[in-house]
Structure 1
Amino acid sequence: MLKRLIYPAMSAAKPHPTGKQNNNRPIFDPDRLFTEDEGTSQDTFLDRLRARLRAGALLSWAVAGIVGQGACLLVPGKMYRRFPLFFWSIACRILHIKVRTIGEPAGSLTPRPDGRRVIYVANHCSWLDVLVLGKILPASFIAKQEVRHWPVIGYLTFLGRTIYINRNRQESSQDVQEIIEQLRKGYDIVFFPEGTTSKGNGMLPFMSSLFAIAKPVRRRGDPAPDGHPACIVQPITITYDRLEGLPVGRHHRSFVFSWFGDMNFGPHLMQLGKWHSMRATVMYHPPIVPEDYPSRKALSNAARSIIEQGHDTLRQNRL
């Protein structure tokens, strides 16, 4: 029985790219042993009812959030920055997602003593990342332009001061200037350098272009750009490590929590809503100073290395 499970998965894999000739050793991919919906959730009547109630509650709360955030924008003070923390906290409670934090964030609602803005960079495997980080970080998110046109969510993120960017490289410089303008106003920023979601068991390459907000491009000998706020970069690792109180394996991490590829949002939300409890762990790493790195690429590689090490540590429970 074990051979019938393992050997088809190995035969469908591609050989390792090595320098040796005539080496056809296969790559073993455990995910090939399962289908996407195999063993990822129960499907009783109560499970389906629970999922529908949670989806309805989440939609209703999103509509209420639009009203609440719109009202907070009319109130003097920082209420419009505090409300998103409350909104995403309730959203996590609706889905029964507990958030454990390790370490301390480098920023808060009050300015840092050194006057630097904080740019948080994190790995990205699901739309849940926004709920988890939105609950604990008073910062503006960077999202792709398409999110602005999503029903309900698009307007909600707009009121929450989300910054929308295009994937077209010709317009990337304009997007960077808009983000820098938000930094000048005193906002901290959160973005996902992978650019898209992954399966949760590994990380995609980082796109270094957005690191220009922390390390502006300039020629040698040129002065620093006028008005560019000094920043620090804090790497953050997100891992979904508990499901029904038990450790999460690679299959559940990929097909319960992760939202990637051409997955549809509705079915993924309904499957997620069937579970009783989940947990996400957020690890804050020590901030790094952009001036310590010679280029954006070096800064990007350093942040990715730190996040990847944290990801391995959390997945293997080596704290």
Structure 2
Amino acid sequence: MVAIARTPDDLSQTPPRKTRPPLLRRAPGPSAGLLDQEPRPLAGRLRAVRRLVSALLWTLLCIPIQALLLVLPGRGKLAFPRFYHSVLCRLIGLRVQVVGGISTARPTLFLSNHSSWLDILVLGSVLEAAFVSKAEVGNWPGVRTVARLGRTVFVSRSRGRTGEEAAAMRDRLQEGGSLILFPEGTSNDGTRVLPFRSAFLGVAEAAAAVQPISVVYDRLGGLPACRRDRAHFAWYGDMDLGSHFWRLARQPGGRVTVLLHQPADPRAFRDRKALTQAVERTVAEGAAELRQNRAPVPLRAR
């Protein structure tokens, strides 16, 4: 065997080794620190387009069905929205895990933490109940149609109309219709539970039961979600709905856990503030357990 010595010039002319492009890349824009990495551009875009088109077609198909069910007698107008939301979650790549039992008392006021518009789809796929939503949603093109077909109760949360809107919620409960309420009053980054507003629970005495619910997005791409992963799901502040959906739809599938705590009689608490504190503590403790990827256990409001 003959050894051939290379000169420094020969070494400098050695072609560089080709490397494969990374499977993940850092997300552009000001949120790059939070949305740590995204899939390859082409695969992510194709996934997002498929999910967007599927969700739109499914919604267009369901709108006339729900409109018809609203004028017909029976529970179809309550059961069909649950089916619609359940399919919609699967179409956008979100798997829903439910822990605990749903309150059988009618009507029930369901009280949940709130971190994203996804909470509407998730809870809508689990519960046969109407949402209480801020009045601005009633003006969003497209969304307002779906919300009204779902018999959403809109509230402006302005002091001048508090009594009128509380009466609308109380009337719905007295009719036997259950409601889903987000007592935080706004969404957040998904890493904590904001203080509950006792004013929102002023109608609780009209319900046969209240049920606290903890909602946490705990899987992304099949792996446990860490703090930075929750930014993919959270929608808060001045985030745009369209761009948030596009960014989320490009990601691998995720999972959300809905922890249904033990129902409670609102009349068992001395006043509205005591009820608010008990529900807030229950929801916050349950959410903290889920964020730490511990086995979820339904809690009792105390």
Q: TM-score, normalised by structure 2?
A: 0.84
In 2, the alpha carbon distance for the partners of 1:154 and 1:33 equals: 29
In 2, the alpha carbon distance for the partners of 1:236 and 1:60 equals: 30
In 2, the alpha carbon distance for the partners of 1:276 and 1:34 equals: 18
Shift of 1:211: 0.5
Summarize the Cα distance change of 1:37–1:309 in structure 2 as closer, same or farther, 3 Å threshold. Answer: closer
1:1-319 correspondence to structure 2 within 5 Å: 35-39=33-37, 41-107=38-104, 112=105, 116-215=106-205, 229-253=206-230, 255-319=231-295
In 2, the alpha carbon distance for the partners of 1:312 and 1:83 equals: 32
Check conservation: 1:98, 1:280, Cα contact below 8 A: yes
Show CA shifts across 1:38-84 (max 9, x none).
32x22421211211221122222222222121021233211111110
Gaps of 5+ in 1: 1-31, 216-228
Shift of 1:89: 0.9
Gaps of 5+ in 2: 1-29, 296-302
Check conservation: 1:62, 1:153, Cα contact below 8 A: no
Aligned residues: 266
* Rg (Cα) greater in structure: 2
Identity in percent = 36
Moved more, 300-309 or 290-299: 290-299
Match of 2:299 in 1: none
Q: TM-score, normalised by structure 1?
A: 0.80
Match of 2:11 in 1: none
In angstroms, what is the RMSD of aligned CA positions? 1.6
Q: Which one-letter code corresponds to 1:252 in the other structure?
A: D
Match of 1:218 in 2: none
Q: Which one-letter code corresponds to 2:151 in the other structure?
A: R
Check conservation: 1:85, 1:135, Cα contact below 8 A: yes
Check conservation: 1:257, 1:272, Cα contact below 8 A: yes
Secondary structure of 1:125 counterpart: coil
In 2, the alpha carbon distance for the partners of 1:33 and 1:58 equals: 26
Q: Which one-letter code corresponds to 1:275 in the other structure?
A: Q
